[in-house]
Structure 1
Amino acid sequence: MESNRLRQIKMRHLSAFVETVRCGSLKAASERINLTQPAISKTLKDLETILGATLLHRDRGGIELTREGAVFQQFAEQGLAALSHGLSSLDALSAGTATPLRIGALPSVAADLLPDVILRFADLSPATPVTVEDGRIGDLVGRLRSGDLDLVVGRMGRPRRWQGCRSPSSTQNK
């Protein structure tokens, strides 16, 4: 059953779902991904049929994630981010460059610790561009979870905050 559902899910399903959640409404999502509201609505309904679960409650005020939608959102975002990263890696390979390393850091860490670490990393991998974005830990963890960042440097915080984040070793062993 699982492999059958996997074959049925298309990029358009994931894109429509993720953008609708990010934008908070079908109208805003339709403008962002250049589809009509009825097309997005049909795509979301198709996805819910494939999954056998209601992901969103829709009304004139916008959308609200169901419990199932909140669970699926995390994996849909990670899947799209992984594909995007894979495409960037292919582009970088074709251009003879390395895929950028995207680091999120607390402001104090970005100023104190990271300059020396990045200089040392540059010695080891001079072709790899490094970007650093500072911010609040909750925002950075959310961006890590969705795949917009490759790693976050800062204090660990509550274990609950890190649910849904995978360590590099857990992804390499699969």
Structure 2
Amino acid sequence: MEANLRHLAAYAAVARAKSFTAAAAEMHVSQSSLSRAVAELERILGATLLERDTRNVELTAAGVETLRVAEQIVSAHRSGMKELQRYLLGDSGVVAVATLPSVAAVLLPRVISDFGRQWPRVSMRIMDGLEQVVLDRVLSGDADFAISTVGSGSSQLEHRPLIRDRFRAVLPEGHRLTDQEEVTWEELAAEPFLAVGRDSSVRRLTDAAFAQAGAEAALAAEAGSVATVGGLVAAGLGVSAMPALVLPLLGTDRVVYRQLVGPVVDRRLDIVVRARRTLPPASVRFLDLLDGLRSDDRGLPSGVSWAA
């Protein structure tokens, strides 16, 4: 059948009003154009829908059923167009973000809460993982953007700095180095060192810091998660180094943090998007809100700052 939305909307208006004159006034069109649309619909369907004389318009049985179907279609179209408009304005949809676990657990909750109050129709999809997994999510299109360290980078990705967090020494309670306000990387290297796995950006940065300090860490153990490293430190099995945003994930209060110097090392976290890709409107709104928080340091842990 070749009936289109114009035919169905015109017929529904006439059938509801039982008047071409009233329906034309409601739709702000001429009565003749409505008559042509209804006549075309009857021709397409091969059925008489309205019985009319000089005064009355009555629906046939086929007209009653056609009105039911037409109203469903017109209502669905109207609802769909409203939803599309909300999406295009950024008032609905899904924000898909890939990020490191520390960002997902420490930085994003407040932003998501503020965002949800302003745009309650938008849902969040958070995919946390290690650096390369996070960046691959953006490249594959699974994520609209990422908040991550970037490593060697890629010509397929564009990034801009978001925050910096400073590395701290992570020590067991009562350790001799807790008597100092600052600990050097060289002093840390002299202790049994507890590291995260080599596929972690934290491991890459700690290895680089030891190399810059001209020291070689005495690796006591390697674990896949920072929470495990925190537990090992709390048990007195060694020391570690973590960026400030990671510290809340260590999961124990039996560890002590000290400033790390010689050198001072910051981890930079960027907003990362796929090059030459237009972000969904809701994601643009989310990133605008995130950028708007730069003037407000509330909610940032000690040792974390907005990047220039």
TM-score by length of 1: 0.52
Range moving further from structure 2, 48-57 or 14-23? 14-23
CA contact (8 A) 1:26 1:62 kept: no
Superposition deviation, residue 57 in structure 1: 0.7
- Deviation of 1:60 after TM superposition, in Å, equals 2.3
Aligned partner letter, 1:16:
A
Q: Which has the higher contact order (CA 8 A, sep 6+)?
A: 2
The number of aligned residues is 98
Unaligned runs of 5+ in 2: 94-115, 122-308
Pick from 82, 89, 94 the counterpart of residue 95 of structure 1.
Answer: 89
Q: Does 1:28 align with 2:14?
A: no
Which stretch of the first structure deviates more once superposed, 48-57 or 20-29? 20-29
Residue aligned with 2:91, SS:
coil
Q: Which residue of 1 aligns with 2:55?
A: 61
Which of 3, 8, 15 is matched with 1:14 structurally?
8
- What's the offset of the Cα at 1:88? 0.7
Q: Give 1:82 deviation, angstroms.
A: 0.5
Deviation at 1:127, TM superposition (A): 1.2
RMSD: 2.1
**Equivalent runs, 1:119-130 vs 2, <5 Å:** 127-128=120-121
- Indicate the residue corresponding to 1:84 in structure 2: 78
User: Alpha-carbon deviations, 1:65-123, whole Å to 9, x = none?
Assistant: 10001011111000011111111111111222249xxxxxxxxxxxxxxxxxxxxxxx9
Match of residue 42 from structure 2: 48
Secondary structure of the corresponding residue to residue 51 of structure 2: strand
Deviates more, 1:35-44 or 1:46-55: 35-44
Question: Counterparts of 1:71 and 1:21 in 2: how far apart (Å)?
Answer: 11
Structure 1 contact 48–55 (Cα < 8 Å) conserved = yes
For residue 47 of structure 2, give the secondary structure of its aligned residue in structure 1: coil
Name the TM-score, length of structure 2 as normaliser. 0.30
Following TM superposition, the consecutive aligned residue runs of length 4 or more in structure 1 with deviations greater than 6 angstroms are: none
C-alpha distance in structure 2 between counterparts of 1:61 and 1:43, whole Å:
20
Cα deviation, residue 50, structure 1: 0.2
Question: Which structure carries more helix by proportion?
Answer: 1
Q: What displacement does 1:58 show? A: 1.2
Paired letter, 2:11: F
Structure 1: gaps spanning 5 or more residues? 100-122, 129-174
